[in-house]
Amino acid sequence: MIVVVGLSFRTAPVEVRERFAGDAIEHVLARLASRPELDEVMFLSTCNRVEVLARPKNESGTDGGRARALKAVREELAHHGKISEGDLAPVLYEKEGEDAVRHVFRVTSILGQVKSAYDVAVAAGSLRSFLGRCVHRAFSVAKRVRSETAIGAGTVSISSVAVELSRRVFGELDDRTVLLLGAGEMAEAAARSLGKGAKGIRVCNRSLERATTLAQRFGGVAAPMSALEAELTLADVVVASTASPSFVVTRDLVKRVMRARRGRALLFVDIAVPRNVEPNVHAIDNVYVFDIDDLEQQVALGMEARRSEVASAETIVEQEVAQFLTWARGLDVQPAIVALRAKTRGVLLAELERTLGGRLKHLPEGDRAALVQMVESATNKLLHAPTTHLRRAAGDGDAQSLAATLKEVFELPDAVHDEEETDDDEHLVQ
Amino acid sequence: VKSAVLPVHVIANLMGEALFVLAFAAAVGYLVADKQLKKKHVGGVVSRLPALDALDRAEHAFLLAGFPMLTIGIITGAVWAERVESGSAAEVWRSLFGYATWMLFATVLLLRGWRGWRGKRAAYGTIAGFAFAFVVLVIYLVRSFGEAPHA
């Protein structure tokens, strides 16, 4: 099965999460993939969530493999966040097996970024048949959730909360100016929802070219980062989403700006991680700063109101988890089925071979082929019932013991592999 | 002449007082909304109040409209007082509180215009000014109803 280890806005404050924004995800993934404890691995990093999905190596039988894999992931996460394992432990969540699958399905349903994390892992070759299939399955679950319920992707909700906040502070926005700090995807989403009502949109970005592109699309004005102070003086609502590693908007800057604004109210919506706006800016009179955690909290409250939608999304997730588990448990009995088939077929063909070499030496080629054909279909007919039975038992979760019994009764060897599982299941090779 | 001054004094003061009640209400609303937003509570009370900035502007508008009324009230009051030369303690306190109210509101309005003192500072100033105006009203009511039987 798989394990999930991570931290999110629910378990870790943004002060901790922003420590994980530094390294490129390819780099972190490469380190994870090089750990011998992990068979398959994927790394997800968003402003709300840092998460490692992995399939432990040598998991079956004793639980040692799983524990070692969890430890390896914890070590890598601590290294990535430049934080001690002791400090990291309280904010981490860990999920295994069925819970992990459910978690992956849920998270994928509300996060678009899982797709890019998946692409990176595929490109790095760190996904194979099991985890790869699980995440792939999660995408179709997400599609179902999106088409069958009203729960949309995360960015939509964040933007609508930003609009709601602006209304609380300014009322109607038709004589208000919205300033976008940063010209990325989040800025664009904010422009789409806030821009409709506003008097004007201004875009301030380190690359003036990108600022201009975005500004043009929404009929706004672009400005270079050097004009930040003047832009802040003009704006009413500021949506910050730059990738800057340090604060772009500091307390001193806003104090100067507020003097220039003659105290007019200013709202910052800081959706960047690490944060762009120094937290104590919120303490300045008539200035309000809402960071990503505050917005998430509002989104969560909004979700509460849509509980029925959440419930139907949960139903979908549960169905899909059950289906996936049936498939995954089927994998457990797959080696037994393959071994049983190989043995039966082997015995029959060997006997046939012997007879054809002796008493039936005189048979022509066509008849020999017909006899081989007969052995094949006899094997299939004979094994149809046990195979079906085994797969059904796998779905109910008690496949292991049945497979063991089968192995014992038929004296099946251990080393037979399903073609799909060639070098995945070293634990079967003793 | 006496009969002309008194109605103007009373009407101006009543209208001023009414506008100050509205400014006071807006200021209190502003402080509540501000406190909730600073605590990052967006739902609940805040969602039922008008927008924060609208409250700030309303408070300023009511104050701006009430101030001339107060000015007229104080001038007519001074004229009236001179006429009757009434020097009772209550009368003196009433005028003192009246002048204090005028000064406070003048300061709030001037600072807002000159220094951009909006929001919380303006709200506190408005509430303090209203408290003084309210004291003036109370003194007047106590005196009138207290003295009425003797008059």
The pTM (predicted TM-score) of the whole model is 0.64
Which one of B37, B41, B108 would you mutate to disrupt binding with A, by most A Cβ within 10 Å of its Cβ? B37
Mean pLDDT of A74-82: 91
Chain B residues closer than 8 Å to A288 by CB: 37-38
In this prediction, residue A427 carries a pLDDT of: 38
A150 has a pLDDT exceeding 70:
no
Cα dist from A122 to A25, A49, A135, whole Å:
13, 20, 11
A151 has a pLDDT exceeding 60:
yes
Single-letter amino acid, residue A429:
V
Return the SS3 of A395: helix
Task: Please state, in angstroms and rounded to a whole number, the distance separating the CA atoms of residues A384 and A379.
Answer: 8
**Contact criterion met (CB below 8 Å) for A55 and A2:** yes
Using the beta-carbon criterion (under 8 Å), do A298 and B42 form an inter-chain contact?
yes
> DSSP letters of A321-379?
HHHHHHHHHHHHHHHHHHHHHHHHHHHHHHHHHHHHHTTTTT--HHHHHHHHHHHHHHH
- Give the distance from residue A190's alpha carbon to the nearest chain B alpha carbon, in angstroms: 19
Chain B residues closer than 8 Å to A290 by CB: 40
A425 has a pLDDT exceeding 50:
no
Mean pLDDT of A80-95: 91
Q: Give the tokens for residue A86.
A: 């002791």
Searching chain B, which residue's CA lies closest to the CA of residue A264? Answer: B118
Task: Please state, in angstroms and rounded to a whole number, the distance separating the CA atoms of residues B111 and B54.
Answer: 19
A134 a catalytic residue: no
Share of chain A above pLDDT 90, in %: 37
In this prediction, residue A197 carries a pLDDT of: 75
B34 has a pLDDT exceeding 50:
yes
Question: What's the per-residue H, E or C state across B63-129?
Answer: HHHHHHHHHHHHHHHHHHHHHHCCCCHHHHHHHHHHHHHHHHHHHHHHHHHHHCCCHHHHHHHHHHH
pLDDT band at A146 (very low <50, low <70, confident <90, very high): confident
A274 has a pLDDT exceeding 80:
yes
**What H or E segment, with its residue span, contains residue A54?**
strand A49-56
Single-letter amino acid, residue A34:
S
Structure ipTM: 0.86
Task: Please state, in angstroms and rounded to a whole number, the distance separating the CA atoms of residues B26 and A428.
Answer: 75
**Contact criterion met (CB below 8 Å) for A411 and A347:** no
Q: Which residues of A touch B (CB under 8 A)?
A: 164-165, 167-171, 258-259, 261-265, 282, 285-286, 288, 290, 294, 297-298, 301
A191 has a pLDDT exceeding 50:
yes
Cα dist from A402 to A104, A284, A381, A419, whole Å:
29, 68, 20, 22
Single-letter amino acid, residue A342:
A
Q: Give the tokens for residue A289.
A: 């700063």
Q: Give the tokens for residue A242.
A: 């730059």
Contacts of range B7-10, beta carbons closer than 8 Å, 24 or more positions apart: B8/B72, B8/B76, B9/B72, B9/B73, B9/B76, B9/B77, B9/B80
Rounded to the nearest integer, the mean pLDDT of chain A is 85
In this prediction, residue A277 carries a pLDDT of: 96
In this prediction, residue A157 carries a pLDDT of: 66
In this prediction, residue B48 carries a pLDDT of: 82
Mean pLDDT of B97-110: 92
In this prediction, residue A290 carries a pLDDT of: 94
Q: Is the dihedral of CA A364, A368, A374, A377 positive or negative?
A: negative
Using the beta-carbon criterion (under 8 Å), do A168 and B43 form an inter-chain contact?
no
In this prediction, residue A306 carries a pLDDT of: 65
Q: What is the pLDDT of residues A286-331, one digit of tens each?
A: 999 999 888 878 777 766 666 667 778 888 899 999 888 888 877 7
Using the beta-carbon criterion (under 8 Å), do B119 and A265 form an inter-chain contact?
yes
A62 has a pLDDT exceeding 60:
no
In this prediction, residue A419 carries a pLDDT of: 42
Q: Give the tokens for residue B73.
A: 């009230």
* CA neighbor of A254 nearest in space, from A275, A223, A221, A282: A282
